[in-house]
Structure 1
Amino acid sequence: MQFKSIYIQFLFILFLLTTSLSSYAQDEENATLTWKDSLYTVELPEGYLMPSDTLEIVEAAPYAPWFENFDDFDTTSSILIDITDQTYDYVPNVSDSLVKERLQKMQKDIPLTYHERVRLFIDYFTVRRRDYTLSILQRKDIYFPMFERIFAEEGVPTELKYLAIIESALKPVALSRVGAKGLWQFMPRTGRAYGLKQSYQIDDRMDPEKATRAAARYLKFLHKYHGDWELAIAAYNCGPGNIRKAQRRSGKKHFWDIYKKLPRETRSYLPQYVAMAYVITYADEHNLIQDLPKYEIPAEDIFISQSVDLGKLAEQLNVCREDLVLLNPSLRFGYAPNYVKNFRIKIPEARFEYYLEHQEEILANIKYTGKGGNVGDGYYYHYVRRGESLGTIASKNRVSLSNLRAWNNVRGNTIYPGQKLKIYGNAYSPGPKTSTTSTVKKKTPTKSSGASIYHTVRSGETLGSIAKKYRVYVADIKKLNKISGSTIYKGQKLLIKEGKYKAPVTTTQSTVLTSTKTTSTSGKLMYHTVRSGETLGAIAEKYNTSASKVRQWNGISGSTIYKGQKLKIYSTSTTVSSSSTKTVKKTSSTSKYGPSAKTRYHTVKKGESITEIAKMYRVYVKDIKRVNKLSSSAIRTGQKLTIPPSPSSVLSEGKSTSTTSSSTSSYTVKSGDTLWSISQKLGVSVSEIKKLNGMKSNNLKVGQKLKLKS
């Protein structure tokens, strides 16, 4: 009997256990699945370092103190805040065959080869580090449109845009521990080689557009050097020398063949790129949905030639200071120094018209007056001697100890004999004291001397060494001699100081001086604010003068002008008379620049692009490429280009512009039209066309009707 009762109790417990298990299984079936329920167990692949691990994202400390309080920024308007939706849903299981198929569909110019290492990274980004991938999805629309535009202009594949994710996690002020900086992580030397200037206050490596253009040109060089896009991408990480070394050691050429001979980090670099390109393209298929994407603040460029405090500029424009700082990350301390010339600053597009209307008043009220405002662009080096300390060197060179540490990345006070220290703040090193000073004064003419001082350049001399010798600023020597860069030549005669009684000059010099004087002071002074699409030739033609005179009046050496720039124009009553109109027309037909019905030739100067040359001669880029049989937009310094005759629309502009603009109220876009070509054809500025048609970009469609009148 007792056994029977025990048996019944056992059956009852078994029944309860079975019921509870079935109900638990039903609850589990109805529960929301997470990535932990997926089939993956993803570990970090060997040799891989996440960008967030290799970077000190120093929107921080000594380089950008304004970024310390970034959590307080207005998240509705700022563009770099990391806000991600971290509520994950189930991660779909994707087969290898489907990944291969998708990679093949994506492939354009750059091979996207499927490999087990690529698959590891795909799983890593879509499963284990979903939060990181969501943060990338949040920022990509800030920069990808700009990447695509610049890469298309430079003639490189637009899919290279994914490389910036691996380099910097799309953070323009990212700094690596080895000193690489910006969206594209340029080292100082490579950055300077591709035109990215770096000084104490300004670092072009953090300028998104300049750095992207430099990256495009560097990648183009690497592709030309290796003849392979996979190797070019790997070389961007470890340098072309390491690629060649791996090829020699393995006796093979392609990336996956030399894979094991490459540096450890580079082995993962290309697979990361392929994986990230895949993940961003197929994010939705992996259930990676970013509900809070960020977009670039619509901005316009202004160009200034004075110091600018971004805080004061924000007050004048009535915008957030943080937005201005985020739009101009290349300004390391939030201000532009006093030595800049035609320096580009981005401001919100909505305040651009206001700026143009109140330009003089705004520029007068935004000068930077804080610490370091008078620090010059020049620098020199001090070699540490035995017994010297940082304090004595700082005192001797009249700079602060903290600045001396920051300029040379010295954390403590330890220095060693022979160490090379960079010092900013003066164009020359201070001279010796007491009795030696008096001897220097005897040799060097003093301020009381009435004669001008000249110096003939000797072999090995630089502007810095000459400035140090005469105890003047490099900027003053450049200004007196109208030198735009820092290049001087052996035997060149430089004016060091302009005295009360000018020294006699040669006949050629005197004629140049007198001719400049007559051209610059004749007529009534007026100002012209440059509009989008305008060229020097067009502006000169408008005021019945020549482009060379406009250059002389404004101290412009080339033909580059900027939207919003103010140009001095001297006009007289004779310039608008009928007789002078004839001479102007004659000059314009034979002039080197501007529209012409004849074929001309142009030798490419340093820094010129094919777009600038096309604007200069008022012709289309496609026509220059066709005549010179150019497959891309790449040109080189010294190259001689044939410039075709200007299009009939441009040649007839002077006759028909006024009638066209007054009679035509709309325009239908034709094949090959751009906003700039339409503005030149109809005499309406690009900004006016965009404003009338509510356009935010420069994209046009064939057949689109554009309003030309309000």
Structure 2
Amino acid sequence: MTEPQPAFFKPSPVSPASFPAFPDRLARLLSPLRTFAVSLAVVVLAGCASSNSKLGLPDDPVLSTSPSATQPVYPGGPLSPIHSAQTPSSAVASLQPPADLWERIRRGFAMPDLQGELVTDREQWYASRPDYIQRMTERSSKYLFHIVEELERRNMPTELALLPYIESAFNPQAVSSAKAAGMWQFMPATGKYFDLKQNAFRDDRRDVLASTRAALDYLQKLHGMFGDWHLALAAYNWGEGSVGRAIARNKKDGLGTTYMDLRMPDETRLYVPKLQAVKNIVANPQNFRAELPLIENHPYFQQVQITRDIDVALAAKLADVEISNFKALNPSAHRPVILAAGMPHILLPWDNAKIFQRNFEAYSQGQYASWTAWTAPATLSVSDAAKRVGMSENDLRGVNNIPPRMLIKAGSTLMVSRSAKMDNDVTSHVADNAQMTLAPEIVTRRSTVKARKGETVASIARRYGLSADAVAEWNKVGASAAFKLGQQVVVFLPVKAVSAARPRSGKAGVQAVSRAPGKAGVQAVKRAPGKTVIKTKKR
């Protein structure tokens, strides 16, 4: 059964005679499409030739080799290639790292140059001392890479890496007459402000990492205050308050407020010229006949964690480095032991870090530390303290730097010998807060006093301002013992200084005579207030 077809569908019979006409009809239908395709191909090829011309490339060989080919015509005329000189370009960062650290420092110079006679004078001073420059730069080779890394991380001028040359000649153990310490020369109060610990066992003003962090923090703070690196450096040397007052004075007087305009002490006046002179020598050493030692552009040291208190000498031995090099990298440890609770990391030369870790884990020859901390329970003489800790007086004085005729005040923490049975390391509280306080030793004299009715060891101690334990020890009795009425009690009392007699009014003053054996003496006689007559006498 066939399906009925729609009314509009009327199939016509196809005869064999109609087949030859089918290709002609198909050709007529496809003729417009062929014409469009040819046109499209011409346009595409012309576009390709145009693109090649824009890029400065040769024309398509298919088009250029055809003898009948003609150059296409463009509305604006024929296109010409763009030459390289016409294209904008920008500097491309070199992928090659600097050959040495000096070149890396030069690339980061960003401070304005200071010029003048003071700079020239300092250039000549340094250039005339090649041995000094050599020692100074060789010493800096341990620390410069770390400082440059920190400066670049903070986007600060790399000239500042040269500042320790001016401050301390890169000596982390340097101490000034004003008690500034370390490579960056921090005063005690400024160091505490920037969280540099200073206690009986370490001084972070000397620490390589901690002091560098604090110095760059301080310089950034000063630059933020004054908006000028030269003024920031002046404030680093002279104090921010002093620089601020100098600027205020100049503003009031209608004067300039740059570094060279301010009135300042000679030391500060020469401070930036010194840095500029060193910068100029580093920038062009050949101009000053200077030779800078090679400092390779890679880290000199790395941090190594320690988990136990350890002697400085043993740590250096386990790391296979000389004790002087170990102390140069860990200068904050100014005692013969490193306390892990307060200083959990040490710095070692890059290649020695793994050696230390391997030897530290394999060490089996006893304790790592032969020293520990001890806190004085009362004010003691050095001899009494030495007896309590089982050391000689000389050894206790030496390891704790106690001068003669000084007492150890109660609460002071001392370094003492560690017994073989002691397993515990020093706690973090003691390692971070230990202080040693000394007091002048008072000259005493043995005396006896009579006990009053009902007098005890405690009442005798209170009467004379003494320790009850001391009174009991002197009299071989217990601390709670009582004395009989009139009993002789031994006490050691301070010797009172005999006051000098005052000169009587209306008479000649006091004569002071200084004579050396066999030589003429000098006699100074005070005749009247404010006047002194000097006489020479022959003996």
Could you state the TM-score of these two structures normalised by the residue count of structure 2? 0.50
Question: Which one has the bigger helix percentage?
Answer: 1
Could you state the TM-score of these two structures normalised by the residue count of structure 1? 0.39
